[in-house]
Amino acid sequence: MNPLIEQPHARSTCTDLAIVGNGAVAMSIAIEHRRRVPDARIAVIGPERRPGSASLAAGIMLASHSEIEATTFRHAAGRAKFDLIRAAVADWPGWLDVLAAIAGLEPPKIRAGTVILDNPNVSGFDPPNFDAILDALRRDGSDHELVDPADIRGYRPTPHLRATRGVRVPSDGAIDAFAVMELLDEAAAALGIERIDGRAASVRDGIVHCDRGRVVHAERIVVAAGAASDGLLRGIPELDGRVPRILHGTGVGLRCRATPGLTTPDEVLRTPNRGAGLGVYHVPFGSDRFYLGATNVVSVEPREHARLGSLHLVLQSAMDEISSELRHAECRMVTGHRPIGADGFPLLGRTSVPGLWIATGTRRDGVTAAPEIARRFVNELLGMDDGLPACLSPERRPITVLDRDQGIDVAVRSRLIGPGSSTGVSAGRLEDEVRRQVVRLYDRAGLDVGVPAELLDLYADGRLDASRLVASTNVD
Ligand SMILES: Cc1cc2nc3c(=O)[nH]c(=O)nc-3n(C[C@H](O)[C@H](O)[C@H](O)COP(=O)(O)OP(=O)(O)OC[C@H]3O[C@@H](n4cnc5c(N)ncnc54)[C@H](O)[C@@H]3O)c2cc1C
């Protein structure tokens, strides 16, 4: 047993910094703080096996440019998030070396390079988002190379679902989630960070009450419990209505092993993002292992189990769009809850409640962003420059990036993903019908502005409050 994990006799702990949650974001902040202030007492609270952790279920693509969408730079928050992630992708090799040196381990290897495929036969998002990625690569002077999808090793999609364009981005890559989380655990142990195996039940007035009666008193508390942060924050009356809700974006991925004779792609292959947090990707790690992802079903409460439809979607999309040969691989399903802010943007920084900080809402990018979030978060905790972007501060009105018509258009395209659904005469009739449904949902929700497509049903069902949304003044 790890001596730093739970001492049953100690029912009460006093500490300088209590971090609630033990995913990639929480662990990175704890480690970064301890490195910078070696005598700080830090406790990380979270169940040792990390049920529902998004970090453990992730791919993990370390991606900045490949995540760009046509709307990314419409708002200062989109630019701030991109800058954060881009810096993080550059940080990763050094971050791994630092963690490995602390832990006395070999650093896990980053699989460098990502090919983004444009598949207009499947999704109306692909061409505009692919163009936005190309524009940003050119504008930023980032290394990239246009490729003919036919030349990609192991790429064997269903013939009529072959991508029309591809671009290789050497700086975007991937890493194995299990290796990353193990390294974070070992580094935290080597630094003497206290671990409390359990869940926080409430956070109030500098005290974290945990299940099994454990109490932690802390000068500062960071709520970084991923999607579960919502329940804790809603128990703090001073924050009532001041912080956007955090939803559970339940995602299914498959960790796979190639069987002998099976040729699989040896670099990350992925589509651009397809609205509603969707898209298909293949992530190789090790010599014969790979990951297929991922789905996104958003709910207010956690769903313990994934849906059959999610599993079906991952399998079908991967075999249709990456390689039909993948059916020979062995696989194991992983499920995690992405923490999704009600406006789709991260919530990072201090609150108006003295000593209370929040680090969550990272949606699709939290593991990638973790080293840079940690660096800037600790800068702020220590009162130093180069802190977190003010527009991502947790106490805010939900950010709106799209007007109502744009929001409707994105929702329509999100519901039309699938082979042949965006081309031809019957596709036109289908689109009209879907558009009518989406407009009805917008009307039922009373929405005058656009919302992330994956959250529309929650607004229409009254689970999210549309009255707090105002048209943004901060659109480029
Ligand atoms: C299928 C899938 C694929 C993804 N792919 C990528 C990717 O390729 N690249 C990328 O960067 N991101 C990816 N993401 C998103 C990424 O995983 C998240 O943004 C990130 O992991 C969030 O980290 P976190 O530390 O905030 O939360 P989590 O990793 O969810 O950690 C939260 C932890 O808090 C614990 N906890 C829960 N309740 C409590 C409580 N009451 N008290 C204390 N602890 C509690 C949980 O058990 C969990 O261990 C993916 C997510 C999923 C689901």
Domain spanning 111-175+247-339: CATH superfamily: D-Amino Acid Oxidase, subunit A, domain 2 (3.30.9.10)
Cβ atoms within 10 Å of 100's Cβ, excluding its own? 16
pLDDT digits (tens, 9 = 90+) for 136-174: 999 999 999 999 999 999 999 999 999 999 999 999 999
Measured in degrees and rounded to the nearest 5, phi and psi for residue 188 equal -65, -40
CB 51 within 8 A of CB 79: no
Lowest average pLDDT, out of 169-173, 273-277, 324-328, 407-411, goes to: 273-277
DSSP string, 1-29: --TTB--TT--EEEEEEEEE--SHHHHHH
CA 52 to ligand 1 center in whole angstroms: 7
Pocket perturbation via mutation, ligand 1, pick of 364, 372, 392, 454 by most ligand atoms within 8 A of CB: 364
What proportion of the chain, given as a percentage, has pLDDT over 70?
95
Q: Does residue 244 carry a pLDDT above 90?
A: yes
| 3-class secondary-structure state, position 273 | coil
Q: What is the pLDDT of residue 424?
A: 63
**Ligand 1 close to Cβ of residue 359 (< 6 A):** no
pLDDT digits (tens, 9 = 90+) for 361-408: 999 999 999 999 999 999 999 999 999 999 999 999 999 999 999 999
**Ligand 1 close to Cβ of residue 224 (< 6 A):** yes
How would residue 1 be classed by pLDDT, with cut points 50, 70 and 90?
very low
CA distance 469 to 343: 9
Cβ atoms within 10 Å of 113's Cβ, excluding its own? 16
DSSP string, 188-230: HHHTT-EEE-S-EEEEETTEEEEGGG-EEEEEEEEE--GGGHH
CA 47 to ligand 1 center in whole angstroms: 13
Q: Does residue 9 carry a pLDDT above 70?
A: no
pLDDT digits (tens, 9 = 90+) for 58-104: 999 999 999 999 999 999 999 999 999 999 999 999 999 999 999 99
**Ligand 1 close to Cβ of residue 280 (< 6 A):** no
Q: What is the pLDDT of residue 2?
A: 45
Mean pLDDT of 194-206: 97
CA 434 to ligand 1 center in whole angstroms: 32
**Ligand 1 close to Cβ of residue 225 (< 6 A):** yes
**Ligand 1 close to Cβ of residue 53 (< 6 A):** yes
Single-letter amino acid, residue 245: R
Is omega for the bond preceding 60 within 30 degrees of 0, making it cis?
A: yes
CA distance 461 to 445: 7
Residue 202, beta-bridge partner list? 209
Pocket perturbation via mutation, ligand 1, pick of 55, 181, 246, 301 by most ligand atoms within 8 A of CB: 55
What are the residue ranges spanned by the domains of the chain? 111-175+247-339, 404-463
Question: For residues 70, 76, 77 and 80, what is the CA-based torsion angle, rounded to 10 degrees?
Answer: 100
CA distance 324 to 126: 21
CA 248 to ligand 1 center in whole angstroms: 10
Residue matched to tokens 């207009």: 120
pTM: 0.95
Residue 332 is encoded by which pair of tokens?
Answer: 């194991």
Average pLDDT, the chain: 93
pLDDT digits (tens, 9 = 90+) for 105-125: 999 999 999 999 999 988 999
| Residue having the nearest C-alpha atom to atom 40 of ligand 1 | 199
CA distance 114 to 283: 9
